[in-house]
């Protein structure tokens, strides 16, 4: 009985700690980090994001394979940017699946709408989401994809809570992020990314996720796959 009471107390503290973090997060953890995207020329970002030598783009098929997508799946591409992953996902899940392309910038969402129409992809659902929510319905997606997006979350605890709500039982979250190591990582990474892999992993765990797998990638980036804690 004592052991059971101890376990219950620990679980209560964990849940209470996360709820407190969410409710207390009234201020951005990185104010202004997304300002440059809000009114930027989306086509100019295509040239920057979709270029040879950028691993996130040139190795997109390898990264997509980590998601293990199948026809009929519903996917959320959060921080979709110019939408090149959105289009790949839409092809893989087929007409019976849906890809929700989320971004806080109107210009990116308009570009994704245009690209989907040009490619005849009717299963893409572009969404301009608020900075503290996915705006997705509960239990609406099988996979959530975050490619260099999590460090842009100004309200990470609220966003993780929203992701957890949207993810169906048995679903997965695939996180691609910069390695951030003091004295090793480039200056732009140290300035832009607020924390390293250990901190981000802890944030997911505290939000009710468990680490399923770390997928080998590059020295500059890592890939983590999470599932809902059982």
Summarised one tens digit per residue, pLDDT across range 110-130 is 999 999 999 999 999 999 999
Q: Residues of the chain with pLDDT > 70: what percent?
A: 88
Q: What is the pLDDT of residues 47-105, one digit of tens each?
A: 888 899 899 999 999 999 999 999 999 999 999 999 999 999 999 999 999 999 999 99
The pTM for the full model equals 0.87
Q: 30 or 196: which carries more pLDDT confidence?
A: 196
Q: Two tokens at 82?
A: 């110019």
Whether 63 and 223 have beta carbons less than 8 Å apart is answered as yes
pLDDT band at 2 (very low <50, low <70, confident <90, very high): very low
- By CB neighbour count within 10 A (0-12 exposed, 13-18 middle, 19+ buried), where does 37 fall? middle
Mean pLDDT, the chain, rounded, equals 89
Write down all domains in the chain, each with its CATH number in brackets: 2-228 (3.40.50.150)
Q: Which of 147, 139, 152 is nearest to 104 (CA)?
A: 152
List the one residue out of 14, 119, 122, 36 whose CA is nearest residue 81: 36
CA distances from 173 to 45, 90, 169, 204 (A): 25, 17, 12, 10
For residue range 3-28, what is the model confidence (pLDDT) as tens digits?
A: 444 333 444 444 444 444 444 457 88
Is pLDDT larger for residue 220 or for residue 5?
220
Nearest alpha-carbon partner for 218 in 84, 108, 53 = 53
pLDDT tens, residue by residue, 148-165? 999 999 999 999 999 999
Angle between helices 2-24 and 156-166 in degrees, nearest 10: 120
């Amino acid at each position: 009985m004592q052991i059971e009471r101890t376990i219950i107390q620990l679980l209560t503290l964990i849940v209470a700690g996360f709820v407190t973090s969410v409710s207390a997060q009234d201020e951005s953890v990185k104010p202004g980090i997304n300002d440059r995207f809000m009114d930027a020329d989306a086509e100019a970002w295509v040239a920057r994001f979709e270029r040879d030598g950028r691993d996130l783009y040139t190795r997109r098929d390898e990264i997509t394979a980590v998601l293990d997508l199948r026809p009929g799946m519903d996917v959320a591409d959060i921080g979709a940017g110019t939408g090149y992953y959105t289009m790949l996902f839409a092809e893989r899940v087929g007409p019976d699946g849906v890809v929700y392309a989320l971004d806080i910038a109107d210009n990116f969402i308009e570009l994704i709408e245009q690209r989907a129409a040009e490619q005849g992809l009717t299963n893409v659902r572009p969404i301009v989401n608020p900075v503290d929510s996915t705006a997705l319905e509960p239990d609406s997606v099988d996979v959530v994809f975050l490619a260099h997006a999590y460090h842009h979350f100004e309200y990470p605890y609220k966003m993780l809570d929203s992701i957890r709500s949207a993810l169906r039982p048995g679903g997965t979250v695939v996180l691609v992020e910069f390695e951030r190591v003091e004295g090793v990582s480039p200056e732009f990474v140290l300035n832009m990314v607020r924390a390293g892999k250990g901190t981000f992993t802890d944030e997911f765990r505290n939000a009710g996720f468990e680490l399923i797998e770390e997928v080998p990638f590059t020295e500059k980036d890592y890939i983590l796959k999470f599932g809902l804690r059982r």
